[in-house]
């Protein structure tokens, strides 16, 4: 049993803490599997394991003061850039499918857009929310060197997402009636419902994929997932070419191509993980020891983090979808919907950058808390917040300066161009708060404080933000700009509240909580094995072979 006692550190103690205390040396096997060299370098900075600080006797006080934040920012960037690349590649794969569907006809494209939106809102967002608990549990277990626990957590996550998939699929069977009830065109509703039902395999594959990605991410293994995402994006072109163009399967063919693409990603990750675990077999670094009966226990410890994680993600995601629906009730709904759609795409593309940084922040904070290094966890959180604000301020300035050019690239409709040009500066300002909040949410996930983050999101988005958007758009008659102005006010308030929340975190206490979680899992495993050994003592050996696969 590995139990770590954590004491509160004063600011003076934090300042004199050396890097030899903050970061343990990276072993040769870790270098082999993460792609770093024995001599160190960029990969060591990414893992945060090596002694990257060069501060010493010859450094000035100023150099010693900024050296650690500088190196921490570099670690976050090296982790965040591949994660952002993954998000961009996944988004590109969706665009490839839409490009092929666009040649099928207007009804097919409308149905596919509606179906994809429903797939994301009612399916993918739920699975991502549930498996986000892995960022806390796996990240802290990895930091605590409780490597075998990662495999158990992965198994629990897979079972939870499988159960969620069953519930989502049962809901999708009634999709046609639901869309008609919501006022959608009956023909488009039928086609969209069939399309989303054809994507049921993709939902299951996506659930497994998201769990596997977080299983690797919390171990600071990012590049393999990015490479696999790139391969899938490239292969999505021939997949659609065969199913849509050559076999002429229409929208069903496009859905089949999406299923195959998701299957490709899942299998790529499974193959890599299988190879990696084979290299680590027999060492204390091995994280997967086969399916274990212990995954059927301890669900409450997972669910109590997973449900708030689900709320954090879905509350924000669904709010943006609600803005699109509200646009359809404005005067000149065609122009309003197109304008909002373009702005959503601009916001989504820009959001890919803080998305990667958020994942990096979650990994760094959870790993350091699990390793009983609260000072390093606080430094990671602070560095991530500064990077997020700098990054999003730069993006906002760029978008605002291009607000007259961007609509011309996307559409030729004069009314839509004019409306989009008015809204893009508001979207640019909104993205500052949205990006900062995303990164701070990563810090919250790393600490395991999703319940507090979910409460902030519910209050800011649904109690304040959405009503404000409705008020500005309809009674005030501000239209589409009013919808986005309400969101801009919301994200600013939300980022401010989240900043205060994270600033008030007692990271020494969070490290104690992480240590308690790790020790609890180790105790549970030890108890489970002891009880199993006693129960199996009198059973013939051949019967016991199926106990753990």
**Dist CA 235 CA 230 (whole Å):** 9
Q: What pLDDT sits at residue 437?
A: 96
pLDDT of residue 38: 37
pLDDT band at 64 (very low <50, low <70, confident <90, very high): low
Mean pLDDT of 203-222: 97
**What average pLDDT is seen over the chain?**
84
Query: Which residues share a beta bridge with 37?
Result: 40
Q: Which residues contact 415 (CB under 8 A, 6 or more apart)?
A: 332, 335
pLDDT band at 531 (very low <50, low <70, confident <90, very high): very low
What pLDDT was estimated at residue 501? 96
Average pLDDT over residues 462-486: 95
Q: Which of the four pLDDT bands, split at 50, 70 and 90, describes residue 20?
A: very low
Domain locations in the chain?
Answer: 79-297, 312-549
Percent of the chain scoring above 70 in pLDDT: 82
In this prediction, residue 109 carries a pLDDT of 84
pLDDT at 412: 84
Higher-confidence position of 421 and 110: 421
pLDDT at 462 over 80: yes
Q: Provide the pLDDT for residue 60.
A: 57
Q: How many CB atoms lie within 10 A of CB 464?
A: 16
Q: Residue 58: what pLDDT? A: 54
Mean pLDDT of 355-373: 96
Count of CA atoms in the C-beta half-sphere (13 A) of 443: 33
pLDDT surpassing 80 at residue 26: no
pLDDT for 299: 87
Query: In this model, does residue 330 exceed pLDDT 60?
Result: yes
Least confidently predicted of 135-144, 168-177, 449-458, 529-538: 529-538
Give the whole-angstrom CA distance, residue 291 versus residue 282. Answer: 16
Q: How far is CA 356 from CA 88, 384, 391, 439, 523, in A?
A: 10, 11, 12, 9, 34
- Asked if the model's pLDDT at residue 33 lies above 80, the reply is no
The pLDDT of residue 181: 86
CB neighbour list of residue 152: distance below 8 Å, 6 or more residues apart: 292, 294, 295, 298, 521, 525
Greater pLDDT, 106 or 208: 208
- Section 162-176 average pLDDT: 95
Q: Is the pLDDT of residue 210 over 70?
A: yes
Q: Is the pLDDT of residue 24 over 70?
A: no
- The residue-averaged pLDDT of 487-516 equals 94
The arithmetic mean of pLDDT across residues 1-7, rounded, is 38
Residue-wise pLDDT for 73-97, tens only, equals: 999 999 999 999 999 999 999 889 9
Q: How far apart are CA 305 and CA 387, in angstroms?
A: 27
Among candidate residues 72, 77, 168, 64, the one with its CA nearest the CA of residue 120: 168
**What pLDDT score was predicted for residue 328?**
82
Kindly state the tokens that stand for 173.
């069977």
Rounded to 5 degrees, φ, ψ at 548 are: -130, 125
Average pLDDT over every residue of 373-400 = 96
278 burial level (CB within 10 Å; 0-12, 13-18, 19+): exposed
Rounded to whole angstroms, the Cα distance separating 115 from 211 reads: 24
Model confidence over 237-262: pLDDT tens digits? 999 999 999 999 999 999 999 999 99
Helix 186-198 to helix 148-172 angle, to the nearest 10 degrees? 150
At residue 298, the 3 state secondary structure works out as coil
- Token look-up 């550190």 returns 9
The pTM is what? 0.83
Rounded (10°) CA dihedral 290, 296, 300, 302:
20
* Banded model confidence at residue 110, pLDDT cuts 50, 70, 90: confident
pLDDT digits (tens, 9 = 90+) for 183-204: 777 888 899 999 999 999 999 9
* SS3 track for 418-481: HHHHHHHHHHHHHHHHHHHHHHHHHHHHHHCCHHHHHHHHHHHHHHHHHHHHHHHHCCCCCHHH
Backbone torsion region of residue 183, taken as left when φ is above 0, otherwise alpha when ψ lies between -120 and 50, otherwise beta: left
Going from the C-alpha of 184 to that of each of 98, 137, 176, 187, 347, the distances in angstroms are 20, 42, 9, 9, 25
- For the cut 90, the answer to whether the pLDDT of residue 296 exceeds it is no
Q: Which residue has the tokens 């922040």?
A: 361
CA-based nearest residue to 132, from 385, 310, 338, 333: 310
What percent of the chain has pLDDT above 90? Answer: 65
Work out the number of other CB atoms within 10 angstroms of the CB of residue 377.
29
Assign 199 to helix, strand or coil: coil
Q: Is the pLDDT of residue 108 over 70?
A: yes
Least trusted range by pLDDT, from 323-337, 368-382, 499-513: 323-337
Q: How far is it, in rounded angstroms, from Cα 20 to Cα 40?
A: 15
Region 362-387 average pLDDT? 96
pLDDT at 484 over 90: yes
User: Which alpha helices (DSSP H) does 241-332 contain, by range?
Assistant: 250-280, 299-327
Query: If you average pLDDT over residues 474-490, what whole number do you get?
Result: 95
If one compares 460 and 297, the residue with the highest pLDDT of the two is 460
pLDDT of residue 59: 54
- pLDDT greater than 90 at residue 523: no
CB 393 within 8 A of CB 429: no
Three-state SS sequence of 503-548 = HCCCHHHHHHHHHHHHHHHHHHHHHHHHHHHHHHCCCCHHHHCCCC
Of 128, 203, 208, the closest CA to residue 171 belongs to: 203
DSSP state of 242: I
Sequence-distant (≥ 6) Cβ neighbours of residue 437 within 8 angstroms? 491, 494, 495, 498
Minimum mean pLDDT among 44-58, 372-386, 425-439: which range? Answer: 44-58
Who has greater pLDDT, 161 or 59? 161
Q: Is the dihedral angle over the CA atoms 454, 459, 461, 466 positive or is it negative?
A: positive
* Whether the predicted pLDDT of 528 surpasses 80: no
The mean pLDDT value for 387-394 works out to: 97
Flag whether pLDDT at 23 surpasses 50.
no
């Amino acid at each position: 049993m590995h139990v770590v006692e954590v004491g509160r550190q004063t600011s003076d103690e934090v300042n004199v803490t050396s890097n030899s205390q903050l970061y343990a040396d990276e072993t040769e096997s870790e270098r082999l599997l993460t792609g770093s060299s024995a001599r160190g370098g960029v990969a060591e900075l990414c893992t945060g394991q090596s002694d990257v600080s060069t501060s010493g006797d010859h450094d000035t006080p100023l150099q010693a003061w900024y050296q650690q934040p500088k190196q921490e920012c570099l670690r976050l960037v090296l982790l965040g850039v591949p994660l952002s690349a993954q998000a961009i590649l996944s988004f590109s794969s969706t665009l490839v499918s839409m490009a092929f569907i666009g040649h099928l006809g207007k009804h097919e494209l409308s149905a596919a857009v509606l179906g994809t939106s429903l797939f994301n809102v009612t399916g993918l967002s739920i699975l991502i929310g549930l498996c986000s608990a892995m960022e806390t549990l796996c990240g802290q277990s990895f930091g605590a060197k409780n490597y075998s626990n990662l495999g158990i957590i992965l198994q629990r996550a897979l079972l939870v997402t499988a159960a969620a998939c069953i519930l989502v699929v049962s809901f999708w069977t009634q999709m046609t009636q639901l869309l008609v009830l919501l006022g959608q065109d009956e023909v488009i509703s039928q086609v969209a419902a069939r399309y989303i039902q054809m994507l049921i395999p993709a939902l299951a594959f996506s659930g497994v994929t998201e769990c596997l990605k977080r299983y690797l991410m919390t171990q600071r293994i990012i590049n393999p997932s990015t490479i696999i995402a790139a391969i899938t994006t490239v292969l999505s072109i021939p997949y659609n070419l065969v199913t849509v163009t050559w076999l002429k399967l229409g929208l069903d063919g496009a859905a089949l191509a999406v299923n195959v693409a998701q299957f490709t990603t899942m299998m790529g990750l499974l193959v890599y993980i299988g190879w990696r675990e084979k290299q680590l077999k027999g060492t204390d670094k091995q994280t997967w020891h086969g399916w274990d009966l212990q995954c059927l226990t301890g669900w409450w410890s997972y669910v109590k983090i997973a449900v708030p994680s689900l709320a954090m993600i879905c509350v924000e995601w669904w709010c943006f979808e609600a803005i699109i629906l509200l646009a359809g009730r404005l005067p000149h709904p065609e122009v309003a919907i197109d304008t909002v759609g373009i702005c959503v795409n601009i916001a989504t593309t820009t959001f890919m950058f803080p998305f990667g940084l958020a994942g990096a922040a979650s990994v760094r904070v959870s790993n350091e808390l699990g390793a009983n290094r609260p000072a390093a966890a606080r430094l990671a959180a602070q560095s991530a917040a500064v990077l997020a604000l700098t990054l999003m301020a730069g993006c906002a300035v760029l978008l605002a300066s291009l607000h007259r050019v961007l609509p011309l690239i996307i559409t030729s409709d004069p009314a839509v161009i004019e409306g989009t040009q008015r809204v893009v500066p508001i979207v640019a300002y909104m993205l500052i708060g949205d990006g900062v909040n995303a990164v701070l949410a990563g810090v919250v996930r790393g600490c395991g404080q999703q319940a507090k983050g979910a409460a902030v999101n519910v209050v800011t988005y649904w109690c304040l933000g959405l009503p404000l958007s409705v008020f500005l758009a309809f009674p005030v008659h501000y239209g589409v700009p009013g919808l986005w102005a309400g969101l801009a006010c919301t994200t600013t308030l939300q980022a401010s509240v989240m900043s205060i929340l994270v600033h008030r975190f007692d990271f020494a206490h969070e490290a104690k909580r992480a240590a308690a979680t790790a020790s609890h899992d180790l105790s549970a495993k030890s108890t489970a094995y002891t009880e199993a050994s006693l129960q199996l003592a009198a059973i013939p050996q051949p019967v016991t072979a199926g106990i753990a696969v």
